[in-house]
Chain A
């Protein structure tokens, strides 16, 4: 550890203390790079496998393949039924769920943020109980109800259930955001004669765009990657999402490992693009105290 305290003349001539460095800059960079290397190692392993010609197992498994090939990707996309079904189901299950959540939580969060009487505080604490109660506690009754309603292994059934399960987490973040939005605009709109629905859709909802984008991105991440709910509610193979299809593929195809890794890379691609493109919304959502589902 190196400590530097440098006294440099300030603008008015008096001495100003320059902030000290805890670690040398070089050491910081080396340490950061070392951790980065470990963090990306699994991605590297997956990519190396996925570009190796189908079926080959080489002595040095970490080496970049001599003749990288796209054959695994082509095989997965055109020959693997689980892959296309999984992709279709993941998209159909995720997109409506996050849109539904965006509308219903922004509406309810507005009321819960603006009204602080006992009733609304109580309602808020009931609706956020999902943060504490694990899914395991009610997975059986939920499954039975869904089974009786014919909703097991259906996209609609999954969308309803997954949206309901995500409410608590979304509500905390969105309510927290609305509390930071000043009421003046709403009051002005009210004086101008807008009713409450007009106030919400014309004034409040547009102001919520940043938190709504954040919620859409984070919820997409959680729902696309969901396993715990999916394995209970999506029993038929035809209803499997990518997350479920992937596990089965890895377990059943140890001989065609290279393809399984191509499957993995293709499954995470949409989320990766979303993350790299909308990173700042994820960061702001998490640091605002949002919680994972």
Chain B
């Protein structure tokens, strides 16, 4: 009886999928309420002249917000600052992390202690860490160099924050690089040494190609973190115009300056930039990965 058999199978598969939905339901429900619904609600706001969020007065004004933002000095400056910060943070966070990983990727009691110490900053909140750093700048940096803290200088505030961000996250990138380095078989190096390859050549021809997946993870991660950075400038660069990131511009527009529609439009622009850039960089880096 083929027909009956087919029916029982489909009945069984309905039971399985219904069971699956029970397992998935709490997650889907929570995610829908907290992320999905607000995400779709937010898009139309960006096409309105909504001012203060206390009022419900808002009218559709087409692409006006976007047109305004693309010529607005402060918004464009915040995008520039965010890019500059993200690029330097991504670069330094990865270089230092990789450097440390190369130094201590072998297991020994000393290296294990060093790893514990290097990850320590990551356990502190960004805001608290940044505030402590503002005192490191005034009490240590200024004393040693005789220079003013970078956080107080419009031209240097971004560099001051790059140092703080790299300090906090170097342990994170380091751990990912160490894990990658530990997967490389020693045989490769032994064979290369027999063939007379120099250390530098071994590094560029064996180590680097084999840890490209770690580069992909770390670069994509720091890129995404960097572009959405909000807490760092809120803690230590609130009063310096040159230190305002796009995420801060969005917050101020919506919650302080009564420009909700405009703030929402700038948030959409930031989201598009973030998605396009991270997808592009990930694809590019994936293309460089080799099979080991």
A residues with a Cβ closer than 8 A to B are: 1, 3, 5, 17, 19-20, 22-23, 28-29, 31-32, 35-36, 38-43, 45-46, 49, 61-62, 103-105, 107-108, 110-112, 115, 120, 123, 126-127, 129-145, 160-161, 163-165, 167-168, 171, 196-197, 200, 221, 224-228, 231-232, 243, 246-247, 250, 257, 261, 264, 267-268, 271-272, 275-276, 279, 282-283, 286-287, 289, 291-292
A109 to B, closest residue via Cβ: B27
Q: Chain A residues with Cβ under 8 A from B231's Cβ?
A: 227-228
In the complex, per-residue mask of B123-165: 1 if CB is within 8 Å of any chain A CB, else 0? 1111111011101100110010000000000000000000000
Please name 17 further chain A to chain B contacts, defined as beta carbons within 8 Å, in addition to the given A32-B104, A111-B23, A247-B131, sorted by A numbering: A3-B198, A35-B96, A36-B114, A43-B132, A104-B26, A104-B30, A108-B27, A136-B251, A139-B267, A167-B27, A227-B230, A246-B125, A268-B124, A271-B124, A275-B119, A275-B123, A283-B119
A286-B27 CB under 8 A given contacts A40-B117, A41-B140, A246-B128:
no
CA distance A228 to B248 in the complex (A): 10
Expressed in whole angstroms, the minimum distance between the Cβ of A90 and any Cβ of chain B is 10
Whether B274 and A132, one on each chain, are in contact in the complex, defined by CB atoms closer than 8 angstroms, is: yes
Whether B45 and A140, one on each chain, are in contact in the complex, defined by CB atoms closer than 8 angstroms, is: yes
Whether B176 and A138, one on each chain, are in contact in the complex, defined by CB atoms closer than 8 angstroms, is: no
Binding-face segment, B1-9, B36-44, B59-67: B36-44
Whether B140 and A39, one on each chain, are in contact in the complex, defined by CB atoms closer than 8 angstroms, is: no
Q: Chain A residues with Cβ under 8 A from B290's Cβ?
A: none
A138 to B, closest residue via Cβ: B38
Q: Chain A residues with Cβ under 8 A from B234's Cβ?
A: 227, 231, 247
Whether A247 and B34, one on each chain, are in contact in the complex, defined by CB atoms closer than 8 angstroms, is: no
8 Å CB contact of B24 from A108, A164, A196, A292:
A108
Q: Chain A residues with Cβ under 8 A from B19's Cβ?
A: 196-197
Q: Chain A residues with Cβ under 8 A from B271's Cβ?
A: 133-134, 136-137
For residue B186, CB closer than 8 A to chain A, the reply is yes
CA distance A103 to B25 in the complex (A): 12
For residue B281, CB closer than 8 A to chain A, the reply is no
For residue B268, CB closer than 8 A to chain A, the reply is yes
Expressed in whole angstroms, the minimum distance between the Cβ of A62 and any Cβ of chain B is 6
In the complex, per-residue mask of B108-127: 1 if CB is within 8 Å of any chain A CB, else 0? 00110011111111111111
For residue B90, CB closer than 8 A to chain A, the reply is no
Q: Chain B residues with Cβ under 8 A from A287's Cβ?
A: 175-176, 178-179
CA distance A38 to B176 in the complex (A): 21
Q: Chain A residues with Cβ under 8 A from B203's Cβ?
A: 22
Expressed in whole angstroms, the minimum distance between the Cβ of A38 and any Cβ of chain B is 8
A20 to B, closest residue via Cβ: B193
